[in-house]
Structure 1
């Protein structure tokens, strides 16, 4: 009797460069070429950073309406989230489920090159770029708590999470997980605050873990 094949690990082939600037990227030694990445998205993002990637392109379009590709799509969204947290420029394209996902829920991610499924696909990428900044929606871990700071909607929304079941959910969803892996009540609470996104039966935690502060620390 044959042993069933293990499910394929999510991953992607990306194109990476050592610099953000289009002119500089044309210089010798600036291209890192095609890079295969897999494993936990945070680890994949860190490996790209450590080999010198400062601009990463994801070929194709991330389609939030494509339920059969939910696992790979959520993995790629988590990778974009974690690259954004490191300050890496990400070149990607987004197809939303029209009327279901407000693009502002993703506006803390590095802006995509193009969007479809928004009320104004011609204008949204520019609005996204204009309003984007590092630290727009992040979380950090303290002793016994997780703090989330969210400015995607303009004003600051701050959440301090102490309940163990929410910590477990955030841990599970940080790399993407089946919706069924999270207690329904916990998932509903996180979704109500727009802190979890879904593609098909997969869910992921939207805020990125703070990696780099946008400004130097100051002493008051």
Structure 2
């Protein structure tokens, strides 16, 4: 008999601290050590926050040039979604990123996330990472749920791009893609719309939702 069970997801362990400041993190009692994330993906950021984590460090590079196999893609998407959710909570994230060389501006799709410590892939990675750091701020690309609609506000390209979706199937697709799903999991036309506006990212065989649902407002809501 041949087993058809899906492979178990790879472990996800982070180093975490109770403060944003590096000097403060060196003080006794400020380190949380290595944290094994056992909660479902949509609860992992909450798990870290409730533990007191305000600064986290991913071990190993997130390599988006090596995501052809489903397991590798799923592991990369899981980590990227967690970075997205931690960014929404204003947690400082230390991570390393390797992108494919094309498109050269592919880093912009992720530029609403906390900037990585190192970036590999663009033709001029130093310039790209410097621009990412200089232009980054919270709430750069977010979505919010209203009564019967979803609104996305995207400033990754410098100007405000605003999208409102009232159709239930779009809202269902966002839920489906929140933590990664195969392309076939959502209607083809909806996936095409999201890809055209670069609101989802294709990582190997998976698509995942890029905007975050903000947890900590840095300004009054009317000013966002």
TM-score where L is the length of structure 2? 0.92
Indicate yes or no: 2:125 matched with 1:121.
yes
The match for 1:20 is 20
Q: Distance in 1 between matches of 2:7 and 2:167?
A: 32
Indicate yes or no: 2:45 matched with 1:45.
yes
Of 100-109 and 83-92, the range deviating more from structure 2: 100-109
SS for the counterpart of 1:48 is: helix
Please list every run of 5 or more consecutive structure 1 residues that lacks an aligned counterpart in the other structure: none
1:93 CA drift (Å) = 0.6
1:93 equivalent among 89, 93, 96: 96
The match for 1:80 is 83
1:111 equivalent among 90, 112, 115: 115
Aligned residues: 219
Residues 178 and 38 of structure 1: CA distance in aligned 2, closer, same or farther (over 3 Å): farther
Indicate yes or no: 2:167 matched with 1:163.
yes
Residues 30 and 95 of structure 1: CA distance in aligned 2, closer, same or farther (over 3 Å): same
1:131 CA drift (Å) = 0.6
Q: Distance in 2 between matches of 1:75 and 1:207?
A: 15
Please list every run of 5 or more consecutive structure 2 residues that lacks an aligned counterpart in the other structure: none
The match for 1:150 is 154
1:163 CA drift (Å) = 1.0
The match for 2:29 is 29
Assess if the C-alpha contact under 8 Å between 1:138 and 1:210 holds in 2: yes
